[in-house]
Structure 1
Amino acid sequence: MFDLLKEVGRGKKGAKNLTYEQACNAAERILTGKATSAQIGAFFMAERIKMESPEEILAFVEALRVHSIRYLLYGGIDCAGPYDGRRHSWIATLPTAFVLTACGLPVTLHGSPALPPKRGIALIDVLKEMGLSVRRCSREALQAGADQSGFLFVPADSWCAPLRAIRPLREELGFRTLLNTAEKLIRFSDAPYMAIGVFHKTAFDKMTEILTHIGVHSGIIVQGTEGSEDLPVDRRSRAAILRKGRCETMIFDPDSYGLKKRMPNIEWTAKRQAQTISEVLQGSGEPAYRNMVLLNSAVRLWTAGRAESPEEGLERACHTLDRGLALHQYQWWRETVLAMDEKSR
C-alpha cells in the first residue's frame, strides 16, 4: 500500500489519480483485509481530498462485485439510493418499486443500516417498520420474493462480505468515502437498467462514464432529493439519460405533467416513512407523495423501455396505483418473503 498511498497522499495539488490497475490493487488489498486500518483510513482520506476518479471508483465496484452474491432478474431496473439514508425527504423509491413491478418491470433495491456522514433513515429501517427485518431474512426468502413478485431487496452488507467487514472502520472515520459511491453500483441483480442519484451536477459526467463501463444498457442519473434517485415534485430537477453509451441532459418539470405539489414540512422518522408509503399504496396518501410516486414510476418505465414516453409511463402508473395493483404487489412480496423465511428456519 505504501507506493499507492504516495501517489494519492501528496495533498490536493500534488496528488495523482491511480491508474485502473493501481486502483484494482488498492481495492483488493483494502477489501480482503491485507491493508491495515491505518492504511485504509489514510487512503480514504487522501481520496476524499483529491476527489476520486471514475477509474478508481470503477476498480472498487468491480472488486466489490467479485466478492458479492448476485441473483439475476432478467430485464430489470436497479434503483440505487444513498446508503447513508434520508433525513429531510420521503423515500418514494420504495412504493415506486411496487408500481413498476405491477407494470411488469422487475426492480432491485438495496441498502444497509445508515452510514456516515448523514446517518439518516435507511430503507432497511423503513422495511422493519413495515414488518420485515430484511437483514434477518434468509437469502432464499428474499430470492423467492423476487421470483414471485419481481421485487428484490438486497441487504448489501449481508450479500457482500467486504462491506460487512469494513463497516466498523467506516463508522469510526465518520466521513464520506469512495465506497459510498461504489457500493451503490454493485448491481446485485445484473440489471440492464439503472436509476441512480447524485448530489451535484458536476458528478453527472463521472457517473455516466462509470455506468457505461459496468454494463448498464440504459439509465437515468438524477440530481434528486438528498442525492437520491427520486425526482421531486416541488421543483424542477436535472437528470442525465444514458442510452447505449450516449448521454443526454434533461430537465424534468413536474408542472408539465400536472404533478407539481408543495411537499409538506415533516420531521421524518422510519415509522412516519412507513406509514406514508402504506397510505400511498392504499390510495389515501397526501397528493404530493402520490404524485412523487407517479412521476418517478413514469420516468423509470420510460428509461427501461416499458413506455414510449414519460407521458405514457404516467398513464400506466396512474392506472396501476389507482386500481390497487401496486398494493397487491407489495402484499404478495411481503407474504412470500415471510412465509419462505419461516419455512427455511
Structure 2
Amino acid sequence: MTTPAALMLETPAEHPFAPFVRILGKGKRGARNLTREEAREAMGMLLDDKVEDTQLGAFLMLLRHKEESAEEMAGFAEAVRERLTPPAIKVDIDWPTYAGKKRHLPWYLLAAKCLAQNGVRIFMHGGGAHTAGRMYSEQLLEELGIPLCRNWQSVTQALDAGNLAFMPLQDWAPPLQRMIDLRNILGLRSPIHSLARILNPLGARCGLQSIFHPGYQSVHREASGLLGDTSIVVKGDGGEVEINPDSPSHLYGTTAGVSWDEEWPALSAQRHVKPASLEPEHLKALWRGEAQDSYPQLALLSTMALALRGLGTPREQAFELAQRYWDNRDKTL
C-alpha cells in the first residue's frame, strides 16, 4: 500500500534562535525576561550571524517594547566582551557618545579634551550619525584635535601621546553597528544604543553613561554592577555624558558592585536661553578664550567634575580641580 504524499510531509525544524523570540513575544501572560545566561547566548548568536534578518528585527523590537532588564543587559555585554580582542590598554574613563546633540553644542568634547591635557586617559566611542537633526562627536573630532582611531594600535598610540582617543563602534564591534543602523528601517532605536554604553571594552577604571529616559538609569547602574564594573549613570543633556547646569543631576553610581547615589544641585539660578543655532566655531572660540558663555562653561566644568568623581574625587574637590584644569588649559587648537 502506497503512503499518501500528504502523510509524508515533515514539519520543518525550528530555528535555534526561535525560542529567544518566543520568550519575549509570547503574549502578556506568557512572555518574560531573558535570564542572564539566555541573554548571553542570544546575543552570541546575533554577533556570530546565526540568525535570520526577520528574527533580528523581531528580537530587537520586542526588547525595545518590553525594555531590557539589568540581567539581560549584563548577559548581552558579556557576549560582546567574550568576542572582543583588544590589547591591554590602560584607560581611566570609558566615555560612550551615541546620542548626538540637538539643543546645545557637544561641550562634553571640550571637557574630555581638558581632562586629557591633565593626564586623565579617556577612551571615547560612538555609533555614527544614525538620527537626522543631531550633531555627533565624529563630525567634530578633526576640528577639535581629537584623534579618530580605526584600530586598537592607533588607540594605544593616541592615548600614549595625548590621553584621548575616539574609535567608532564600526571598527571594534561591526555587528553592533549594523544593529544600530537598523534605526531608520525599524523606525525606533534598538536596545543596542543602550548596550553600547555599558560595554566598557577596555576595562576602564570608570565608565560614564548617559541615559535620558527616566527610571532607566538605575537599570543601567544595576547592569554595570552585575558586571563588576565601576560606573556613574546620569540623565545627561540630550542623552550624552554632559551635565545640564540648569537642572539638578542625580548620579547613579556603582563601585565594584556596590551601588551609591548622589544629588548635585543646579549650577544656575535661572535657565539659560537655548541657542538659536549650533555653530561648531563657538566650541573653538570658547576653548581659545575668545568667547565667554555661561552655559557651556558651567556644563563642561560640571562634566569634568563628573569624570573626576568617577575616579574617586569627592564632589567639591572635583569641581575645584576641574576649574583649575580649565583655567590652565593649553588653548592651542
More helix by percentage: 1
Does 1:321 pair with 2:333?
no
Aligned to 2:247: 235
Cα deviation digits, residues 101-130 of structure 1 (max 9, x gap): 2332211211021225x6622111122454
1:140 has 2:181 as partner: no
The amino acid that maps onto 1:161 is P
Q: Which runs of 4+ in 1 moved over 6 A?
A: none
Candidates 273, 281, 292, aligned match of 2:287: 281
SS of the residue 2:216 aligns to: helix
Indicate how the Cα distance of structure 1 residues 32 and 171 shifts in structure 2: closer, same or farther if over 3 A, else same: farther
TM-score by length of 1: 0.82
Native 8 Å contact 2:180 2:190 kept in 1: no
1:213 paired residue number: 226
Cα 1:7–1:93 change in 2 (3 A) is same
> Corresponding residue for 1:198?
211
Distance 2:197 2:217 in 1: 15
Q: State whether residues 130 and 181 of structure 2, in contact with CA within 8 Å, keep that contact through their aligned partners in structure 1.
A: no
CA-to-aligned-CA distance 1:3-32 (integer Å, 9 cap, x gap): 111111123453211112221221112122
Q: Give the match's secondary structure for 1:211.
A: helix
Are residue 312 (structure 1) and residue 317 (structure 2) matched?
yes
User: After the TM superposition, which of the residue ranges 242-251 and 17-26 deviates more from structure 2?
Assistant: 242-251
2:147 and 2:164 in contact (8 A); partners too: no
1:224 pairs with 2:230 = no
Alignment of 1:107-186 (within 5 A): 107-116=122-131, 120-130=134-144, 134=148, 139-186=152-199
Tell me, yes or no, if structure 1 residue 84 matches structure 2 residue 68: no
Looking at structure 2, the residues matched to 254 and 158 of structure 1 have their Cα atoms a distance apart, in angstroms, of 38
1:32 maps to 48
Q: 2:67 maps to which residue?
A: 51
Cα deviation code 1:8-67 (max 9, x no counterpart): 112345321111222122111212211011011111111122221112112221222233
Unaligned runs of 5+ in 1: 332-345
Q: Give the 3-state SS of the residue equivalent to 1:254 in structure 2.
A: coil
Instruction: Report whether the alignment pairs 1:9 with 2:25.
Output: yes
Amino acid aligned to 1:207: H
Q: Which amino acid aligns with 1:232?
A: N
Could you tell me which residue of structure 1 aligns to residue 11 of structure 2? none
Is the aligned partner of 1:70 residue 2:86?
yes
Aligned in 2, Cα 1:13/1:122: closer, same or farther, shift over 3 Å? Answer: farther
Fraction of identical pairs, as percent = 24
Q: What is the Cα deviation at residue 314 of structure 1?
A: 1.9
Using the alignment, how far apart are the partners of 1:299 and 1:133 within structure 2?
Answer: 23
Cα distance per residue 1:218-240 (max 9 Å; x no partner)? x2211121222211111212221
Q: Distance in 1 between matches of 2:153 and 2:269?
A: 41
1:263 paired to 2:254 = no
Please report how far the alpha carbon of residue 191 of structure 1 lies from its aligned counterpart in structure 2 after TM superposition.
Answer: 0.2
Q: Which residue of 2 aligns with 1:343?
A: none
Give the 3 Å change call, closer, same or farther, for CA 22–281 of structure 1 in structure 2. same
Matched residues in 1 for 2:49 and 2:294: separation?
A: 49
Quote the RMSD (CA, aligned, Å). 2.5
Pair 1:100-2:115 in alignment = yes
Contact 2:250–2:262, Cα closer than 8 Å, also in 1: yes
Contact 1:298 1:313 in 2 (8 A): yes
Question: How many residues are matched?
Answer: 316
Q: TM-score, normalised by structure 2?
A: 0.85
